[in-house]
Amino acid sequence: MPNEKLPILGSMHTKKDGIPNPATAATPHSRRRPVLHRFLACFAILYGLLVAIKTTQNMSQRFFFNKKGPFEKPLMGRAAEKYFLEVPNEQSCIQASRDYTAAPHRAGSDRDLQTAKDFLTFLQSELGIKAPSETPIFPAGSIHSRHATLMIPKAPVPYAWIDTYYPLMNTPLERNLQTLDADGKVLWEADLEEHAEAEDPEAHKFSNSVPTFHGLSKGADVTGRLIYANYGLIEDYDALVEQGVNFTGAIVLTRYGGNFRGIKVQRAQELGAAGVLIYSDVRDDGTVTVQNGYKPYPHGPARNPKAVQRGSVQFLSMYPGDPTTPGTPAYENATRTEGLNKPQIPSLPISQENGEKLLKLAKDGWNGTQLVDERVMPIWNTMAIIPGYIKDEVVMLGNHRDEIVFPKPGFVMGAADPTSGTASIHETIRGFGALMKKGWKPLRTILIASWDAEEYGLIGSTEWGEDFSEFVDKYVVAYLNLDGSASGSRFHVQASPSLAHLTYSAALDVPHPTEENKTLWDATQDSGKYFGAREDGNAVLDAEAVAVYEASINAQDELGVGVLGSGSDYTIFLQRIGVASMNHGFSSTPNDAVYHYHSVYDSELWEETYADPGFHRHVAVAKHLGLVALRLAGSVVLPLNTTHYAYELESYLDKVEALALAQSTEIEVDLSPLRNSVHSLQAASQALDYEKFVAERELKKILKKWHKKGDRVRKLRRKARKTYCKMLKKVFGKECPSHHHHSEEPHQPPRHQEDVSQGPKIVSPGGEVARDLHHHSYHPVSERREQWQERREIMQGLALYFGVELPTPPPSSGEHTCGKSAGRPHFPLPKILKAIKRIRAVNQKLVAFERGFISEDGLPSREWYKHLGVAPGRWLGYGATTLPALTESITLDKNSTLAKHEAERLQTLVDKLVETIRV
């Protein structure tokens, strides 16, 4: 019977008639030989099957990442995106916002250091980084600080740290503003405190502790007549000069809007003014005014008349960052200059209420006093990395966490700027952490930065960028910035043209934050809900203010993506180093509740009541930032659209030609050679587009073909195993060991996650260990072996992207791969390495496109800015000017010779870029 246990061979023999002999019966010698033959034949078959099974099992174990069961494709691509989008949520975001607004963190303060540490702790917790015994805070320029960044392309696991820089900043001491009669008698004195009402309890409690102040403003006591200069635009000043107005010794009064506040002060200083006052004008509040029937905050959505906008008055268009170390990092022992980008005259921000009073008394004499404490102070950038398979291609994300106010401990504000952005990136990071816990590893390395001292003039990001400019130039493929994420109803994106389609497509994949059946991109057309509440139904609007607003939103491409000027932390990356960059978020429209920018009323109550009730916009921005980052970090070919960029260049050139024709003074410049070069760039970029497609397809084809052959081997192995198990059971009565005997073991993360709590040591240039950041040690390897390990990891990551498992370890570069070593299918290593090299070359060309607009000579009179494609306008600060050197030679300098020179300089860069990306 088949289920009966077989006797011991030789103890029982079967007669021809099937009747067994007794076990004790003697076996005739003539009958033993045929039985032995049958036994040997059976043994040979079993042995052969066993060898086949073991060979294929060894092949499986040697060739595939997952040694504990069948291969499962890790979270990558759309699967990772889908999982990520489920993580950011409103309640977590609200809590983060409340946590960060619950304490003051003006750059350089003790609380600022604490928020840097808090963010470090958050990164360690979410990214699975074990906190070292000593907090990793390193002075900029030290061995520890430098290696923390420079080791990123070699880092095997995530780690986080804090860099400390030492810029020049100031804090307010005392201020006053008075109007005087002819005898110097005080007629009226302004109340410079920002008194908050009790209906916003947090703002009310601490409003008297928050001086109204301009960062980097000069301390002085000045007296002079008052001159009103409207927005303080270059056109406003020029018009007054043409009218014969003499600014020497005067105090200039301007309204906020139209340009960066520092530019208003800069032009007044150049004209000889003694000081500047800047006020918030209700005319710039659109339809949301008391005149149009709305109550002022906190009783309604209109402007509180006592609200004051603080902020830096650095001459941003000259250069950002520490005033005393332009172009070099602000180390504690740095050699410093006088600081040409900080004002030499005082300025004060004042409220709507005080501004309106001044306009009525404009003919009287005025006296203003401001005393400041100006000194070198520490600031702290908090950084973290998530290593990818491709470690020498880095995607950066950044947000600043400092605020501009100067509170005593316990003060609450900064809910929109910067905390809304911090709360959003908080959710993005939580999404990355959740992916990592599921075994995700990005194809490219991700570097996260929490910048300090942005409000003083982009100082934290600028100093780090100047410190590591070579690293950024060599490794960073894109920079994604987030300032404030929610201060109104309209979603906006500004980006390098090469990132326009990526940001657009990502927004299409995120749901609208407040409306069903719409996307986040549809929110680019959203407006507020306040259109006037007058009984006659007619809302009053200031035509000039409307024109200024429309001009700010019209600088967009055909997709609706805006152009990057300055005013946030992307500046060093785009304008000086040439890294494709993005900035995004929700901002206010003329029909939104008035955003009390840099005011005590930028409070958590205002944010939760008017800016984003429920924090749906915060979360939508977090998801958009994460999707853009995942696609940059996870695509085989970088999703940079150079062809769109090349055609945008021609539209920039069209604008220049139109400006030249519109000048009252004839400008003679032939732009046709430059246009021809742009056409050549368009053709070269289209050829690169085809190369992108073919290079990725070729690698996919090779890997899929090899994987298909491996499938045949696996099927053969399974068939052989099945036969072997059947024979084993029949002959020996034994069951095969379970093929997945380990399947009930708890889930084990992939190898790159096993030591996620362990970080790399920092090694000094001399080779000795300078500091063990996270208790991890390296094993010395030869340079050749290290290079092969890097190539192997890149190969593994790219294969996983296509759903293919590679040998573990894959054949080394010196291993013979032409046969079927150890019974495994031919591994086409040379073909794969060649295909990867082709893709890497394509990606290098894509990254080089933005770099191609960097001129070492920089822009005329402001050489810190080196991008000839786009820059903050010389007299705008925030706003962008495309082809800036060429454009401003026509519009500002009105110089044909200079225009010809700039056209030739730009043409040289474009021609060189054509050769760089040529395939």
pLDDT tens, residue by residue, 229-242: 999 999 999 999 99
CA angle at 368 for the pair 365 and 370, rounded to the nearest 5°: 170
Predicted pLDDT at 265: 98
Which tens digit of pLDDT belongs to each residue from 298-332? Answer: 999 999 999 999 999 999 999 999 999 999 999 99
User: Which carries the bigger pLDDT value, residue 863 or residue 211?
Assistant: 863
Which tens digit of pLDDT belongs to each residue from 259-273? Answer: 999 999 999 999 999
Cα–Cα distance for residue pair 640/480, rounded to 1 Å? 13
Closest-CA residue to 418 (of 377, 460, 387):
460
Predicted pLDDT at 110: 82
Predicted pLDDT at 26: 41
Q: What is the pTM of this model?
A: 0.87
- In degrees rounded to 5, what are phi and psi of residue 651? -70, -35
Predicted pLDDT at 769: 35
152 with 445: CB under 8 angstroms? yes
| DSSP symbol at 611 | I
Angle between the N-to-C axes of helices 829-851 and 783-801, in degrees from 0 to 180, rounded to the nearest 10 = 90
- Amino acid sitting at position 833: L
Which tens digit of pLDDT belongs to each residue from 153-177? Answer: 999 999 999 999 999 999 888 889 9
Is it the case that residue 379 has pLDDT exceeding 60? yes
Is it the case that residue 66 has pLDDT exceeding 50? no
CA angle at 117 for the pair 115 and 121, rounded to the nearest 5°: 115
Q: How confident is the model at residue 369 (pLDDT cuts 50, 70, 90)?
A: confident
Predicted pLDDT at 205: 75
Q: How confident is the model at residue 647 (pLDDT cuts 50, 70, 90)?
A: very high
Predicted pLDDT at 825: 60
Predicted pLDDT at 788: 84
Tokens found for residue 559: 């997709």
Which tens digit of pLDDT belongs to each residue from 433-491? Answer: 999 999 999 999 999 999 999 999 999 999 999 999 999 999 999 999 999 999 999 99
Closest-CA residue to 563 (of 127, 833, 572, 554):
554
- Catalytic-role residue among 353, 393, 427, 454: 454
Is it the case that residue 741 has pLDDT exceeding 60? no
Q: How confident is the model at residue 41 (pLDDT cuts 50, 70, 90)?
A: low
Tokens found for residue 389: 């398979």
Closest-CA residue to 618 (of 825, 419, 787, 480):
419
Beta strand residue intervals within 647-700, DSSP E: none
Is it the case that residue 255 has pLDDT exceeding 70? yes
Residue appearing with tokens 């006093």: 369
Task: Identify whether 454 is a catalytic site residue.
Answer: yes
Let me know how long the chain is: 919
User: Which carries the bigger pLDDT value, residue 32 or residue 661?
Assistant: 661
Closest-CA residue to 436 (of 150, 132, 155, 124):
124
Predicted pLDDT at 525: 95
Distances (CA, A) of 760 to 129, 153, 383: 12, 12, 15
Q: What percent of the chain has pLDDT over 70?
A: 81
- Amino acid sitting at position 66: N
Cα–Cα distance for residue pair 264/440, rounded to 1 Å? 49
User: Which carries the bigger pLDDT value, residue 647 or residue 749?
Assistant: 647
- Amino acid sitting at position 884: P
Q: Is residue 437 exposed (0-12), middle (13-18) or buried (19+ Cβ within 10 Å)? A: middle
Parallel/antiparallel/unpaired status of strands 444-451 and 390-400: parallel
Which tens digit of pLDDT belongs to each residue from 579-621? Answer: 999 999 999 999 999 999 999 899 899 999 999 999 999 999 9
Is it the case that residue 537 has pLDDT exceeding 70? yes
Is it the case that residue 876 has pLDDT exceeding 60? yes
Return the C-alpha torsion angle 225, 227, 232, 236, nearest 10. Answer: -140
Report the greatest alpha carbon distance in the chain.
Answer: 144
Q: How confident is the model at residue 30 (pLDDT cuts 50, 70, 90)?
A: very low
Among 36-45, 460-469, 626-635, 836-845, name the one with the lowest average pLDDT: 36-45
Predicted pLDDT at 210: 67
Q: How confident is the model at residue 36 (pLDDT cuts 50, 70, 90)?
A: low
Which tens digit of pLDDT belongs to each residue from 550-587? Answer: 888 777 899 999 999 999 999 999 999 999 999 999 99
Q: How confident is the model at residue 106 (pLDDT cuts 50, 70, 90)?
A: low
106 with 613: CB under 8 angstroms? no
Q: What percent of the chain has pLDDT over 90?
A: 65
Is it the case that residue 53 has pLDDT exceeding 80? no
DSSP string, 564-577: P-SSSTTHIIIIII
Which tens digit of pLDDT belongs to each residue from 888-917? Answer: 999 999 999 999 999 999 999 999 999 999
Predicted pLDDT at 309: 94
Is it the case that residue 766 has pLDDT exceeding 50? no
Is it the case that residue 781 has pLDDT exceeding 80? no
Is it the case that residue 29 has pLDDT exceeding 70? no
Average pLDDT, the chain: 85
